[in-house]
Amino acid sequence: MRRTTLFIVLLLCTSLHAQKFEGLALTPPMGWNSWNKIGCEVNEGVIRAAADAMVASGMQAAGYRYIVIDDCWHGQRDGDGFIQADPVHFPSGMKALVDYVHARGLLFGIYSDAGWTTCAGRPGSRGYEYQDALQYSRWGVDYLKYDWCATGDLNAREAYTTMREALRKAGRPIVFSLCEWGSNQPWLWAKEVGHLWRTTGDIAVVFDGVVDHGGWNSWGVMQILDMQEGLRVHAGPDHWNDPDMMEVGNGMTEAEDRAHFSMWCMLAAPLMAGNDLSAMSPQTIEILTNREAIAVDQDSLGIQGLKYLAEDSLEVWFKPLTGGEWAACFLNRSRLPKKVLFDWKSHRIEDSFSGRAIDFSAGQWKIRDLWAHREIGTTRKPFSAEIPSHDVRMLRLQPARK
């Protein structure tokens, strides 16, 4: 009898602490988020247009799935406490908008905040976690970005765990994106809570620099890249470091956009576009839909790339891939062009985290340029190139048959 009672108690304790929905993000999520370009001007027409453009531009075919509406969609809570969409900007209601996105073969994401209000002052989820999760489930939401404004002295791990429990209780599988800006080292605890977590503050439309907003800063692409140092051991299938949404197509140069996208792929980062999908240049579409670069990001091993060398504003990165292949990326952070002469045979890449190694003196690898989309020889000869300012050469290395 005592053993039976103990078993029941253990079962009840286990059921009180549900796990996140497993297997929803075995590769980094790909999609679009409204905040970077649209901000609080968001409305149902904007979201519908983004969904249509994701399909028409070829982004959906390239692997993008999520249309995520960020802050400022909120109206008020009804008499029972359930959140409603702003009736002026979303007159058809949120369920109709979700259905519109789903009808195009896409998935729908929504935004809330762990505090009393969102970052833009709309109703947050604090005290309403279970009602909000149930409402999202009723609407058919597939993805939740959960912010960290107006949280007072809340414990981050507990607050995000509460929403995880609420999502699980609501019953609809939803990708859970934690957005507390890396302030509480989520990489140390969020694997069991969500599918991805922000590692930094907000990104800016700056390749290299900091934007001072008075009480807080937003960060350039290179600053955010540097902030990923030491975090790769915490990422993998279904649990990703998130260096924030992309700024591709929002005002940087084509070279900077290409470098930005390449490095996010090397980081195995979520690829969440943040530009106006309805007004993309051919160059922006080409960057965002480069399937060879995307394949590096979406590789099923799920290993985040490592910085191997850094010298005179030139960095060399490597990323282990399936089938014994590797990605390599030469990043020029300088404002001037840089010449590269990389003698493969002089290097042995060892990655203790993944247990992968590559000894270029012991064999040859075929080299494919992922932006030129062509084979450029093997590692038998040194790699020689001039890389323009703020640009990259991104390569894929495949073992050559003997």
Domain boundaries, the chain: 16-297, 306-399
Nearest-angstrom CA–CA distance, 323 and 301: 10
Average pLDDT, the chain: 95
Write down the pLDDT at residue 160: 98
CA distances from 372 to 32, 62, 143, 292, 380 (A): 26, 18, 34, 10, 20
Q: Do 180 and 162 form a contact (C-beta atoms < 8 A)?
A: no
Region 351-380 average pLDDT: 96
Percentage of the chain exceeding pLDDT 90? 95
Region 69-96 average pLDDT: 98
Write down the pLDDT at residue 2: 44
Nearest-angstrom CA–CA distance, 52 and 13: 46
Cβ neighbours, 10 Å, residue 22? 10
pLDDT digits (tens, 9 = 90+) for 228-257: 999 999 999 999 999 999 999 999 999 999
Q: Do 383 and 305 form a contact (C-beta atoms < 8 A)?
A: no
Given the residues 147, 238, 351, 391, the one annotated as active site: 147
Ordered alpha helix ranges (H), 227-361:
254-266, 282-288, 291-297
Quick check: 173 pLDDT over 90?
yes
Region 28-40 average pLDDT: 98
Quick check: 82 pLDDT over 70?
yes
Nearest-angstrom CA–CA distance, 360 and 201: 38
pLDDT digits (tens, 9 = 90+) for 120-157: 999 999 999 999 999 999 999 999 999 999 999 999 99
Q: Confirm whether 238 is a catalytic residue.
A: no
pLDDT digits (tens, 9 = 90+) for 249-287: 999 999 999 999 999 999 999 999 999 999 999 999 999
Quick check: 54 pLDDT over 80?
yes
Write down the pLDDT at residue 17: 62
Write down the pLDDT at residue 7: 35
122-124-126 Cα angle (round to 5): 155
What is the length of the chain? 402
Quick check: 11 pLDDT over 70?
no
Nearest-angstrom CA–CA distance, 83 and 75: 7
Lowest mean pLDDT segment, chosen from 48-52, 65-69, 128-132, 397-401: 397-401
Write down the pLDDT at residue 402: 55
Write down the pLDDT at residue 49: 98
Please give the single-letter amino acid code of residue 236. Answer: G
Residue 18 banded pLDDT, cuts 50, 70, 90: confident
CATH number 3.20.20.70 given to 16-297:
yes
With CA atoms as reference, report the closest residue to 53 among 238, 273, 202.
273
Q: Do 110 and 144 form a contact (C-beta atoms < 8 A)?
A: yes
Write down the pLDDT at residue 312: 94
Residue 36 banded pLDDT, cuts 50, 70, 90: very high
Region 176-188 average pLDDT: 98
Q: What's the CATH fold of domain 306-399?
A: Immunoglobulin-like (2.60.40)
Given the residues 71, 113, 132, 202, the one annotated as active site: 202
Write down the pLDDT at residue 1: 41
Q: Confirm whether 147 is a catalytic residue.
A: yes
Q: Do 329 and 353 form a contact (C-beta atoms < 8 A)?
A: no
Residue 176 banded pLDDT, cuts 50, 70, 90: very high
Residue 13 banded pLDDT, cuts 50, 70, 90: very low
First to last CA, the chain: 67
Lowest mean pLDDT segment, chosen from 11-15, 163-167, 274-278: 11-15
Region 367-375 average pLDDT: 98
Quick check: 10 pLDDT over 60?
no
Nearest-angstrom CA–CA distance, 176 and 274: 19
pLDDT digits (tens, 9 = 90+) for 286-324: 999 999 999 999 999 999 999 999 999 999 999 999 999
3-class DSSP state of 169:
helix
- Strand runs labelled E in 134-195: 143-147, 175-178
Write down the pLDDT at residue 15: 41
